[in-house]
Structure 1
């Protein structure tokens, strides 16, 4: 099969069987195009000819282009998945990346807000206006659930169960999870849905079930959420940079600092692998060390 046909078959596999997001799909296919270009420059036109030695040369090319270890690791990971697919489809005899180790990448420690900083954000919205009610409900829900901004803007009225205080979230790969929320988020959401949202919805004359709407009554976008948070930061006169994912980091860090177990936080965040959640332990270790140094008699 030609490179083009192999790419199309792999694309179909990623979309249908792996159910990857459009964002992930783009990276996989871009990485594959990058590899195919390398093969052509090497005079190779058949993936069956790719062996360990070829992959080592490819790895050298990647480092020659001054790519970061993170980028190299991602490209190799994409290739490993591609050749695993080819092996399953009997297009190659073996996966040439099976014995190639991915370069270790340093995971950055997540940035988060301290409780004092976050508290200021909850005081800036005018709860007598539709937009103020929306902004407060948005901030309360993001912090109460730790959901991704992409998950938040997709929420509909039917996803929220006020009787038991849970929200149904559809995450990556259309995986669903229930997340509880407390009274602060409940009160803010009910106030907005019963008042401010109705006012905003009339502006668009749409029959929409989406919870969070923009000033024209249309569904709020992820960019819109970032703009709202920036505006709230400015009103609170904070000098920190706040984005939706930082609220998610804050949610996880505060839970772990207060004694939540890692597995529970993993489930709440919708992480497929525990290693994705473990990054927050770097932050909580600093917190525990500070407590120890300030309280132990012989610290």
Structure 2
């Protein structure tokens, strides 16, 4: 049984199919030369769902934190210490090796092109696109990440209609069925069952540590 906080009725986790639809709308797979779209937004979402990181935690990542990641082998996971967290309580998340490789691709290509447009030195890991109308190459805000994600959810067709007096009308603005925070829920549900399969006696305690 899942802990009450993450039961199947309240967790609002993504289904695998829904998650793939949103990721496809967010951008290209890093390194996919056939898809000329930027990879940044897809990478941020992939990082969040793989680690359970919050929106602000993703936005606050720095280039120095990325450079300090150490990977022992091609498929090794890497530990990422987080300092700017909810409640300012540091914790460490585990970044899959493939996500680390994707981060390296982003830093060397897309981010490098963008920061050349910045007016000052930029320490943020995730930055505005080089072609952005406002503040190209500058640090990407949490609100901007949220906005891009909500737009992708809507484009993926994952909507719940707005209701007025129990009815809907063509003038109702569609509401996204998922939010960025649901990536964290998805990580929690997935990791909980992995811990159960691994034979953890109290999996919710390990999960609590991972989530912070």
Normalising to structure 2: TM-score of the pair? Answer: 0.68
Q: Which residue pairs with 2:97 in the alignment?
A: 183
Runs (4+) of structure 1 exceeding 4 A deviation are 127-131
Work out whether residues 12 and 178 of structure 2, in 8 Å CA contact, stay in contact via their aligned partners in 1. no
Structure with greater Cα Rg: 1
Q: Of residues 182, 187, 198 in structure 2, which corresponds to 1:251?
A: 187
Q: Of residues 10, 15, 20 in structure 2, which corresponds to 1:114?
A: 15
Work out whether residues 113 and 250 of structure 1, in 8 Å CA contact, stay in contact via their aligned partners in 2. yes
Work out whether residues 157 and 209 of structure 1, in 8 Å CA contact, stay in contact via their aligned partners in 2. yes
- Secondary structure, aligned partner of 2:81: strand
Q: Which residue pairs with 2:106 in the alignment?
A: 192
Q: How does 1:1-299 map to 2 (within 5 A)?
A: 109-124=10-25, 125-126=27-28, 127=30, 132-160=38-66, 161-163=69-71, 165-170=78-83, 171-215=85-129, 216-239=136-159, 241-260=177-196, 261-270=203-212
The separation in 1 between residues aligned to 2:21 and 2:70, in whole angstroms, is 26
Work out whether residues 140 and 184 of structure 1, in 8 Å CA contact, stay in contact via their aligned partners in 2. no
The separation in 2 between residues aligned to 1:119 and 1:223, in whole angstroms, is 22
- Secondary structure, aligned partner of 2:117: helix
Q: CA deviation at 1:257?
A: 2.7
Distance 1:188 1:121, change over 3 A: farther
Distance 1:190 1:134, change over 3 A: same
Distance 1:234 1:172, change over 3 A: closer
Q: After superposition, what is the alpha-carbon deviation per residue over 1:54-80, rounded to whole angstroms, capped at 9, x for unaligned?
A: xxxxxxxxxxxxxxxxxxxxxxxxxxx
Q: Which runs of 5+ in 1 are unaligned?
A: 1-106, 271-299
Q: What is the number of equivalent residue pairs in this alignment?
A: 164
- Secondary structure, aligned partner of 2:38: helix
Give the number of the structure whose residues are more often helix, by fraction.
1
Distance 1:156 1:111, change over 3 A: same
Q: Which runs of 5+ in 2 are unaligned?
A: 1-6, 73-77, 130-135, 160-175, 197-202
Normalising to structure 1: TM-score of the pair? Answer: 0.50
Distance 1:131 1:231, change over 3 A: farther
Work out whether residues 130 and 195 of structure 1, in 8 Å CA contact, stay in contact via their aligned partners in 2. no
